[in-house]
Structure formats: structure tokens, C-alpha cells
Structure 1
Amino acid sequence: MAEFIFWLCLLLPFYAWLGYPLLLTAMGPFFPRRRPAPLPAQHVSVVVAAHNEQRHVEDKLRNLLAHDCRVASLQIVLASDGSSDCTVALARNFDDPRILVLDLPRQGKNSVLNAAVAHCTGDILVFTDCDVQWVDGTLDALLAPFADADVGGTVGKMIIPVAGKGLSLGESLYRRYEAWLRRVENRTGCTVSADGALQALRRELYQPIPERVNDDFYINTCAPVAGKRVVYVDQATVLDCGVDEAERQFSRRQRVTVGGLISLAARRELLAPLRHGLYAIALISHKLVRRLAPVLLLPLLLVNFWLLDEHGFYRLTLAAQLLGYAIAVAGLLDVRHRLPRPFRLAAFVLVTLAGMSVGLWQFLRGHSYNQWTPNQTR
């Protein structure tokens, strides 16, 4: 029984983080590549939710206005969620008819996005964050797959071009891992993940976002619910800054995990493989098993002590686990960043797994987040 628990606790996390992407990679060549025809110029609405973003709002609007893209019309809807700083005033200083600024009372990001979409005039909705910058050509690349009528949504990628000296080093590598995973998911037609910093959706597919769910996930699943595909676009890129502080990384992962599990519950019809095929399996693997996997690491460690006398293999696995945790703790304690990079990478993994575990516990207790304060997790 102890050995069964050991291997279950070992193989499920392995499958969630590595086995599942490798399986999709092996399946990729069996799926035909799609090459859509050129896309006619579209009417596009870009939605930006903001709360106390006076540091970023001007650069964000300049970035969007300067973006060279082939569209029939461009509308930018900046919706302030009860900002108490100069966000609204700075946005309204832009004398451009393409910009619509909504000064809304504090109500939470999801409600603000719903209000913003109600003012959108475009056929394609593009969602982005206020604190990220688009790379040239991003909008054209993000829109191109919509030439295929079966495509309901698209997602881009976020990169951290200059990692800091702390945990953002691990975050930067994690972004690259996510980009690889989305490429193999996209190859098999089951893109299930998205960053709110860059995603697009056909206007007629948009469903009002409920409270408490993760907005990016809910928007990204509007297309599959309607029987449409979501396409990952590797050329559509936004630039972000990483977070070095362990407290902020922990808080972010905790919040995302709670919202992610609530989101899965809200979209539970998509978890049926008989109806949604490979997409449902991808959703279970990427969004459910991965979030459950971290809680298996503690019983893995405990049962490993129980099995010490069974075989030399278990002594090696215990030593490997203890060494990994020791390196991670040392990386967390190294506030002056004098230790080599692997220590900071291990620290990032430990903080991420701890945040996910606490997030799972909060979800089971019925806890949720509605208000958002971007500066606290940035």
C-alpha cells in the first residue's frame, strides 16, 4: 500500500508537468496543419481594465495607438475600476476619438470587463492588461487566425525579456515552459490556457464573466462552449516585468489557483471527454491535475521515509527530495542573491507549489477573491 501511494504521488505530478506535454508532442504530427486565408480588415475593440495604473496608462495607450495594424476600425476602451489615482485623468488627456475612457465605481475586474464590452463596437474583442507592452506586429498576428470561420478565439504569449535577480528568473523560465506547452496544445487543437495580457474573441461569442472566476480562463472558454477553436499565436507577444519578491509570487499563485478551480467548476461541462474529446482531456490535465499535484508532494515525502528499508531506490529518492527542498530554502534565504541561479529557480518552484497548495485549501473552504489590486501581485 505504501508503495502504491508513493508511485501515485510521484507519477501524477510528473504527468501534469512533463508527461502530458510530451504526450501531446508525440501526437502532434498526426494532426493536420491549418493555414487560413488572408483576413479582411476587421472592426476591432481593445479592452483594458485598470485600477490605479497611473504609472502605466500613458505608455499603454501610446503603445496601442502606435501599433501598426491592418484593421477597418480600432476602438480602445479603457475601463477604470474605481481608481483613486490619476489613471482616468491621464487617459482622458489623450485627444483621440478611438479612445473611450470609462470611470466606473469599484466593483471588481470581471464586472468592469463586462461593462467595457457593453460599450464595444468591434466584431473582434481584444483583451490586454495595462502594465504590458505589445511587440510590433502583435495585433495583426493575433487577428490572422480569424480568417478561419471555425476559430472563435486566439491567445498570445507573455515573455519577461529582462529577468530580475530574485524569483523572476524562475518566472521567466516558467513563461517559456508555458509557451512550449501552448504550442503543443495548439498543434493538437486543444489550447486551454491564456494570459489576460493578450487574448481575442469574436464579439458574438462573449459571455458575461461571473464573479470570482479567472477572467482570462473564462473568456478563453467562450469559444469551446460554442463549438469553436482557440488558436495560440506564437508571434503575438507582450512584454512583462517579473516579480522577484516571494510574498507576491505566493499571493499571485494562491489567487490564480482559487480562481482557476472556481472557473473549472463554472465550466465543468467542458470536462466531459465523450463530448469535447481531446480538449476535455487537455483541460483536465493542464488545469485540474496540475493544480491538484502539489498537495501530493508532502505525502510523497512522508511515505518515502516509511519505505526507507524497502529498497536502496527509496533512499535515493528521499535524498533527492531533501536536497531539492534544502536548495529551495537556501534560495529563499539568499536575499542578496549571492548563490548560483539554480537556488533561485528552486525557490521559485517551492513558492509556486506552496501557493498552489494553499490556494487549493482555500478553494475547498469556499474562499474566493472578487476585488483585484494589480500592484500587490505585480
Structure 2
Amino acid sequence: MQSKPKIACIIVAAGRGSRMSTQTDSSPKQYRDLGGKTVLLRTLEAILTPSDIDLVLPVIHADDGDTYAAATRSLTSSKVLAPVTGGATRQASVASGLKALQQHQPDYVLIHDAARPFVSPSVIEEAIAALKAGAQAVLPAVQVADTLKRAGANHKVLETVDRTNLWSAQTPQGFPYALILETHKAAIDQNIDNFTDDTALIEWQGKAVTLTTGDPQNIKLTTLDDMKNAQEQIAMKTLADLGDIRVGTGFDVHAFEDGNAVILGGISIAHTQKLKGHSDADVALHALTDAIFGALADGDIGSHFPPSDMKWKGAASDQFLKYAIDRVHKRGGMVAHLDLTVICEAPKIGPHRDDMRKQIAEICDLPLSRVAVKATTSEKLGFTGRSEGIAAQACATIRLPFGD
């Protein structure tokens, strides 16, 4: 029985990305944030998705060791090897990666740009299939659809270029490992170091390159506009993936007792009394917590933190709210908005509204713009009107994956 071929992938991440530099940010593009993850981390995750990939070797700049470590801290796959240092050109960086892989002796190697985080499993899998079928070099590509123009230095059009049989090259490009290693060595021996595309070395050697199906979404992030479009693409995908929108409500009441401050929204507010309860009696956070449990259809605060359990005696209520937020995240969701209304005659909430919003946003790790705090009285009616306690009602909007 024929053994499974070993497949490695080199991630070329040693570039500086100067075309994306601004006056305020000159960091390499592969380490920039893209929807909460670095570009490089998204690229590594995409490459690791197909099960056929056995080894992944990042090639990074000599100055980027700490930056790489921070950017990939959450990556736990044992397939990812320790990064190696690249060279002054892309070709030199790939050669460094190929040399480092010698001890692992892969049968095939894919070479992928770190700045292509949207590569799909199908692009990778088709490239691998072509290699297994005997291709000497594999190039994912998309046929050029736009009309092409050649212009002079003055931006005057010189001619229309025939686009017939023209293709836009992408990565990962694939090769039998021994062949691409020897080809790189041959280029080094002849002092040629200006190849920007690995299949070009194969062409230089007079060997065939096989085209496979690329993907229009598999763009290389090069300019600030590319990054802006990528951010929008990530945001739209996130919203599409979290299309199950749910709303929950919460209501809580606590009576006053002797004291000199109340805890509301996670902050202490001086008052002539305090709120009575098993925990710190933060009626505002309790209402928010129940609203989240309601949106999850996941019981209520009493079922998760029963007052009969003495370990919650005097407990800070922020841990209840954090727990509820964590329940959302464990189901692959996100909190979209929190809306809180505090009902009391005193203390006055207005002077403390902003501090409450900031504290709730910090507890929930949300932007301040996604937390609303309002206050009202009950016009001297009922127990709140008689200043016997405080009530709070809350609404939580969350987004979950469909089918959750």
C-alpha cells in the first residue's frame, strides 16, 4: 500500500509591506489587525484547514521574532514549525524556508503569501491534487476578465492589451519538494535573486507549470484600500455567520437597608442606604445578566448562582455578568447591544451614568457605543416611589450562529 505523501507549506512573511505604510502606522501588513486577528494568524488558520497539510513553516523577518510570537500566541496546532529567518528578497526567503525543510523531507511543498488570508480550502486541495497527479509545478490562477491597457509615463494610453489566455497568478503554488529546492539552488549558483514568483523559476528551467482553479476572493493585501476592503469582508462574513439574532429581557428588584452606598452597574454610589441581597445586590448587573440568559434561553441568574449557595454571599456581581457573556462566546456568539434602565427616586443616576456605562462596557469587553444606561422614577408610586428599593430592567441583543 502506497504511503501518504508528506506535504509542507511555507508561509512567506518576511516582507515589510511598504505600500501599506502611513505616517501613523508603518508596521508590516502581515501583523496588522484584521477583524480581531492579525492577517498572518488568519492566513495560518486558513492553510491549516485542509487535513492534507502536514507541516507549516513561517519565514519571518529577522526583526519580527517577538511580533510573530505575539501575533500567533493563540495558535495551538503542532503542525506549525518554529519560524525561520528570511532574506532580503522574496526569493531568498523562500530559499531559506526550503533549506529548513530538508530535515523533514516533505514530498511536496506549497508556498503561500502571508498577505493572502482568504485562501479557500478548495484552492489548496486542488493544488495538492494536481501535484499528486504528477504536475511539476502548480499555479492557482484566475482568468483576467477586465480589459487591459498599457499606458506611458504620462498616463496616456498606448494600446489595448489582448487579454486572451491571460491569468492572474495566486498562491499557494505547489511543487515536488526536491524539484523546487534544486531550482532555487540553481538560481543562487547563477546569482539570480529577482524572481518574485516561484513558478517563474520552474519556467526559467524550461519545465511545465499547471494552472489550477484560483479564487477571486484570494486577494493579496497590498494597499490600504485592500485592507479596508478586507475589513469589510470580515465584518460582513461575521454578521452573516451570526445571523440568529435574539433579544432577551431582565428585571430585578432589591430593597434598601441600613448602609452608606449602593452598588449599581459595578460602581459604588454614595447614598443614605445600601441595597439588601445575598451578593452585593447590584440590581443593574443582575438585570443585565438575566437579559443575556433570556436571549440564550439558558435559565436565569438564580439557576446559575442560587442564593442558597453561601459561596455567593457578598459576591461582586460583575462575575455573574462575565459568566453570562462567556456563555454567549462558548456558543460561538457575540453580544450586540445592552440596554439598562434603573428605576428609583434616589440616588440620582444622571451624574453616574457615564461611569456605569464605562464599567459595564469593560466588564463585558464591549465598545462603549454598545452599552446604554438610562434612569427614571416611578413618579412617587409603588415601592420605588416610596424609596423602599431600586428596580432595574434590561434588554440584551445577541447574535448566534444559525442552528445553535
Given the two structures, how large is their TM-score scaled by the length of structure 2?
Answer: 0.19
Given the two structures, how large is their TM-score scaled by the length of structure 1?
Answer: 0.20
Per residue, is there more helix in 1 or in 2? 1
Q: Which has the higher contact order (CA 8 A, sep 6+)?
A: 1
Per residue, is there more strand in 1 or in 2? 2
